Every structure is written in structure tokens, then in C-alpha cells.
Amino acid sequence: MKINFNYIKAIIIIGLVMFLYGFAERRNNDRKLNKIEVQFIQFENLYVTEEAVNKLLIQNKVGATSVGKEALDLNRVESILNNHDMIENAEVFLTLDGTLKTKISQRKPIGRVLGNEIYYIDRLGNKMPRSQFYSARVPILKGVEEKDLKNVYPLLDYISRDKFLTEHITSISKGRSGAYKLELRKMDFELFFGKAERIGDKFNNFKAFYKKALKDDILNTYNMVDLQFGNQVVCTKK
């Protein structure tokens, strides 16, 4: 019987490749983590620090040398980070050199509620605790309870997306009727907004009024500016 040496050679080469691949993969998995890199994206202000993230991972036994790469559960690491009060989303991946990299999006506050409990409302409309590392410069909410968050959120969200409104509005007060009053930075008059409806129309009317009154130098002559009546702005002079 004629022996096909080429066939045997091919089998040996395939077997050797598989052995080397398995050996390399096992050695790679047996290596310890070299380091952890934390990257914050989107926002400049740090409501949670790199040190706090590293401490959280170490407390959950995800240290730089405490666990082998084979035993590392990336989904578990992401879950640990995403459960942090100041983290909106975390992505975790492992590089070939043994570096655990984390990309973290922090929660962004858009309002601060003052009352028996003090907390933020984040950009998704959820309660957010205060940070020990940074105090956000956002409108203060007075007379607002947790049950009111769904109602006041569209108003806060609109303000947070508008540069002019963000620069000028310092606080929002809720009355018993559910209507809102806004306080403005460096302005003597109160801005009566009414209920959180027709938000875009009301603010567009206010911007038109503000631009005209600023040009005529009469902003400081008003005591109250009322936006609740249709397409008109009703002003009360001092």
C-alpha cells in the first residue's frame, strides 16, 4: 500500500498549530491583570473619581493582580460599575497586554431638589444623590416632592438644553396649584411660568420679550413677568 506522506504531513502540521494555539491561549489566560485604566467620557465634572472606581473594583476583588484573566467576568465588572450611584453607563474590555480598560459615562444632574431630602434630578429624569466630589451648578427646585418629578422633568430638560435659559434661570418654585415660578440671575422680577405645558412656546415668548426689554433698557422696571396667557407676555411694573 502506497503511503501518502503529504496527507500525514498536513495532519501533523494542523495538530501542531492547534497545540501551539491552545498553549498560547492558556498562558495568556493564566496571566494576571497588569493594570486598570479608567476613562471618563462626555462630561468634564467628576461626580465619581478614578480613585473611587479603582477602590470599588478592588473591594469586589477585581484588582490589578488579584485575579487571572481567565477567571475575569467582564459582565460582572460592568454590572458592578453600572450599579454605582454616579455612573450612567460603563463599558469594560480587556487588552492583549492584560490591561482592564473601563469607559465610564457619568450621570448628569439638571436640577437640585431642596426639602427634607436634598438630591439631584439627572438628565434622564431620575433621582440622583449628591456627590462628595463636586457640586453641580443647576437650577434649585423648591416645593417639589418626589411625586412631582415626572411633571417638572420636561421643564428642567428644556432648560438644560438651552444655553440662554441655563445661564439665566437659578431656581424653580412649585405652588400649590401646580404652577411654577422661575427666578432669574441678576433680575429683580419673578417669572411666572404657570403649569409645565407649552414649554417651548412660553420660553420663545420670554426670549422675545427679554431681547426687546433689554434693548429698551426697561428690564428693571418690572416686578412680575407672566407667561401663562397664550402667546402674550403680561408684565407688572414696580
What are the pLDDT digits (tens) for 193-213?
999 999 999 999 999 999 999
pLDDT class of 74 with cuts at 50, 70, 90:
confident
Q: How many residues does the chain have?
A: 238
Residue range 112-150, pLDDT digits in tens = 999 889 999 999 999 999 988 888 899 999 999 999 999
Do 118 and 231 fall within a single domain?
Answer: yes
Average pLDDT over residues 95-109: 86
Q: In percent, how much of the chain has pLDDT > 70?
A: 79
Structural domain harbouring 153: 109-237
Cα-based angle 185, 237, 216 (whole degrees, multiple of 5): 70
Do 125 and 141 fall within a single domain?
Answer: yes
Which one has a higher pLDDT value, 140 or 41?
140
What residues contact 202, with CB distance under 8 A and at least 6 apart? 193, 194, 227, 228
CA 116 to chain centre: 24
Whether the pLDDT of residue 180 is over 50: the answer is yes
pLDDT class of 77 with cuts at 50, 70, 90:
confident
Number of domains comprising the chain: 2
For residue 5, is it within any domain? no
pLDDT class of 10 with cuts at 50, 70, 90:
low
Rounded Cα gap, residues 123 and 126, in angstroms: 8
**Domain boundary residue, one of 50, 72, 106:** 106
Do 113 and 228 fall within a single domain?
Answer: yes
For residue 184, is it within any domain? yes
- What local confidence, expressed as pLDDT, does residue 13 receive? 62
Q: Which residues partner with 174 through β-bridges?
A: 180
pTM over 0.85: no
For residue 17, is it within any domain? no
- What local confidence, expressed as pLDDT, does residue 28 receive? 44
**Domain boundary residue, one of 57, 74, 106:** 106
Residue in this structure with the C-alpha cell 407649552, named with its chain if needed: 198
* DSSP assignment of 16-48: HHHHHHHHHHHHHHHSBP-EEEEEEES-SS-SS
Do 93 and 159 fall within a single domain?
Answer: no
Do 197 and 233 fall within a single domain?
Answer: yes
Question: Distance of CA 155 to CAs 3, 7, 148, Å?
Answer: 83, 75, 12
Whether the pLDDT of residue 79 is over 70: the answer is yes
Do 129 and 150 fall within a single domain?
Answer: yes
Whether the pLDDT of residue 24 is over 80: the answer is no
- What local confidence, expressed as pLDDT, does residue 167 receive? 94
Which one has a higher pLDDT value, 144 or 30?
144
Do 45 and 79 fall within a single domain?
Answer: yes
For residue 21, is it within any domain? no
Average pLDDT over residues 88-98: 84
Do 90 and 138 fall within a single domain?
Answer: no
Mean pLDDT lowest among 48-57, 103-112, 156-165 = 48-57
For residue 8, is it within any domain? no
For residue 22, is it within any domain? no
Do 102 and 114 fall within a single domain?
Answer: no
Average pLDDT over residues 219-238: 88
Whether the pLDDT of residue 23 is over 80: the answer is no
- What local confidence, expressed as pLDDT, does residue 231 receive? 81
Do 141 and 76 fall within a single domain?
Answer: no
Do 53 and 138 fall within a single domain?
Answer: no
Do 215 and 118 fall within a single domain?
Answer: yes
CATH number of the CATH domain containing 42 = 3.10.20.310
Rounded Cα gap, residues 17 and 63, in angstroms: 34
**Domain boundary residue, one of 41, 73, 106:** 106
CATH number of the CATH domain containing 207 = 3.40.50.11690
Q: Strands 99-106 and 87-94: what pairing?
A: antiparallel
- What local confidence, expressed as pLDDT, does residue 25 receive? 46
